[in-house]
Structure 1
Amino acid sequence: MPRKDKIILLTKVIASALVVASVLMLNPIGANAEWKHNLAGWWYAEGDSWATGWSEIDGKWYHFNSRGYMEHDKTIDGYYLDSSGAWKEVMTTSENLKFDKSTGTIVGYSGVNTVVNIPSEIDGVSVTSIGRGAFSTDNSSAKIESVTIPNSVTSIGESAFEWDSNLKAISIPESVKKIEKATFNGCIKLTSVTMPNGLTSIGQGAFSGCGNLTNIIIPDNVTYIDNVAFAGCHSLRSIDIPKSVKRIVGGAFENCDKLTSMNIHSSTVIGQYVFDGTPNVKITIVN
């Protein structure tokens, strides 16, 4: 046995001798139960060894790490372990919305409706975020045309609506401060986007490939427009970049072949290839 394992074993053996009735147990268990505890945490003895991985104990599921110590207050393999270490049912479905109650996150949609209204809370838990790829083709087969997002939502994850080829309109609530990477990438029918006034950044490829997007108003608090953010938006014709924008990264408006007019403040740093494949744009520098 490696020296490290011997030390762990010795520590557990010593700690076992010190466990007394006054120690708070995780769950009501019988007198012959073999929960053990030391300063490093709890473990469950099984004869001469101890549990690792998933184990069902007294009708409840627990997870023990490779050293045998019980995990708690975290999600493992998609299952949430509460402060007692027991697996807690956190995934629920409401109106075909798959919801993780431990994080307040919409993680998928299993319905067929073309119009989706996200509630501000599900089962008494506030809906605070739309998870990565939640409405993308990876997690939803519905042909969603519009989505209503409540003000309780503060974040929309990467690729949340990616390749939703039927999405036509979206209004992002004031509570959201960032549009993440590829959030609406490939939404080819998207024609209308309402951005919140408090928005600060537009992520890489956020609206890339939104070929029917004809108009976009960038709020005054946006400071950063990332790489290929609007690349391939073939229907964009004009756009005003507010003074708040400090930097536009390479390729942000590449292949926007119908874009003819853009106002940019002199303080804005423009990266390389921002207008690559956008031959007709006339840029007006505003002081």
Structure 2
Amino acid sequence: MAVGICCNTSENVRNVAFEILAGTPATNPSVPKLLNTDYKKYLTLCIIRLDAGTSELKITDYRENGNFCGYVRCILGKCKVTDMLAQLSEIQEQMKNYNTTVNQLTTKINELTLKIDEMTGDVVSIGKCGQNVDFVLYSDGRLLLKGTEATFDYSTDSNPSPLQNNANIKSVIVSEGVTGIGERLFQYCDNLKTVSLPTTLTAIKKAAFLPHIDGYIYHQTLNGLTELKIPERVTELGVNAFAGTAIKSVTVPSSVVTVGAMAFSECQYLETVRYGGKVISDRMFVRCTKLKNLTLARNVKEIVGGCFNYCESLTTITYEGSLADWNAVKKNTNWDSHAVDIESPLKKIQCFDGYMEYVANTKTWKEVKA
């Protein structure tokens, strides 16, 4: 016999139901076929056979057979879902390319605007911050980095950045061609609020945008960046790269594979994060007290300990994979912050097929299927 799903579109029925089509007993029986009509469309799920002299049923699963069923298929034949998904994937890739082009054009517009200022405006200072990278600072607080390859790495005292601790810098435009923002390049630039980064950028190094600190605790009235968009080609975020800044939201792209400790620590205005990188690093979001909307992509493979310590508003993490995917993610000791002195509010990991629930009395996570 054949077992299938039938969609009946006739006016007096209009329903979806299982149907069974019996076969004809024979020495060599033929497979019964559920045939489509004008009003009835079928997906054959399986064929069941009982051989003579036996009591064991033989079941042939047709769910993966595209000719009879298939997991993704329109039962009416009026739309080809698989084709539509393929087209959607193409459109998404096109949109990604369009966004890259838009970002490149936006950077070009910003560069051209500054070049006009360079000819007609007031240039405060010029200098070199890379083998092939120069900077120009204008009187209105805009700074242009132009050139190719990465900027130099700097230290706090012995080799400080020429831009370090510059209160006149309010915004930064990094031109296409620059591939890396070096260590401590904009350290202590507390009035730097916005940065435009190029699509060619692949690395943002240690303390690149770190504002002033007071001992080991950043100022409650936060300094530095208020807006941040990380380009899609960035693979590295350094230690304290954006720590203590005033950003409210950020998206970490899937291209990121190397992340230093405390990259976004002490960002006490940060509320929304979508994280697509492979690793969430040591104390990455420690003391992000307003963080409440955290989405982790299925691309995340490891969560290091202490990354959510003292995140007082984080009760739920949304994970874009299944429960099985989540269980496969490597989680280091105290990844969920339940081992620290204060009580962690994190109680739920929402997956697409259910969720993980924290059980306080056993200090374990329990799987709950949807």
TM-score (normalizing by structure 2): 0.46
**Greater relative contact order structure (CA < 8 Å, 6+ sep):** 1
- In structure 2, distance between residues paired with 1:176 and 1:108: 24
- In structure 2, distance between residues paired with 1:145 and 1:201: 25
Q: Which residue of 2 aligns with 1:105?
A: 151
- In structure 2, distance between residues paired with 1:266 and 1:238: 21
Q: Which residue of 2 aligns with 1:30?
A: none
Offset at residue 167 of structure 1 (A): 1.2
- Checking the alignment, whether the CA contact within 8 Å between 2:232 and 2:254 is kept in structure 1 is yes
Paired amino acid for 2:229: S
After the TM superposition, which residues 1-287 of structure 1 pair with which residues of structure 2 at under 5 Å, given as runs? 92-95=134-137, 104-105=150-151, 108-109=162-163, 110=166, 112-120=168-176, 126-137=177-188, 140=189, 143-163=191-211, 165-187=223-245, 189-219=246-276, 222-264=277-319, 265-274=326-335, 275=337, 276=340, 277=342, 279-284=344-349, 286=351
Offset at residue 239 of structure 1 (A): 1.8
- Checking the alignment, whether the CA contact within 8 Å between 2:242 and 2:264 is kept in structure 1 is yes
Q: Which has the larger radius of gyration?
A: 2
- In structure 2, distance between residues paired with 1:278 and 1:133: 35
The structure richer in helix per residue is 2
Aligned to 2:307, the other structure's residue is in SS state: coil
- In structure 1, distance between residues paired with 2:272 and 2:284: 14
- In structure 1, distance between residues paired with 2:211 and 2:229: 18
Aligned to 1:266, the other structure's residue is in SS state: helix
- Identical amino acids, percent of aligned pairs: 24
- Checking the alignment, whether the CA contact within 8 Å between 1:251 and 1:273 is kept in structure 2 is yes
Paired amino acid for 2:151: T
TM-score (normalizing by structure 1): 0.58
Sort the Cα spacing of 1:158 and 1:278 in 2 relative to 1 into closer, same or farther, 3 A.
farther
Paired amino acid for 1:211: Q
- In structure 1, distance between residues paired with 2:304 and 2:254: 21
RMSD: 3.0
C-alpha distance after superposition, 1:185-216 (max 9, x if no partner)? 111x2112233342234331000000110000
- In structure 1, distance between residues paired with 2:170 and 2:144: 16
Aligned to 2:275, the other structure's residue is in SS state: coil
- In structure 2, distance between residues paired with 1:284 and 1:90: 46
Aligned to 1:94, the other structure's residue is in SS state: strand
C-alpha distance after superposition, 1:100-139 (max 9, x if no partner)? 979531655357142221222xxxxx322111011111xx
Aligned to 2:272, the other structure's residue is in SS state: coil
- Checking the alignment, whether the CA contact within 8 Å between 1:243 and 1:268 is kept in structure 2 is no
Q: How many residues align?
A: 190
- In structure 1, distance between residues paired with 2:197 and 2:305: 31
Sort the Cα spacing of 1:149 and 1:100 in 2 relative to 1 into closer, same or farther, 3 A.
closer
Sort the Cα spacing of 1:182 and 1:149 in 2 relative to 1 into closer, same or farther, 3 A.
same
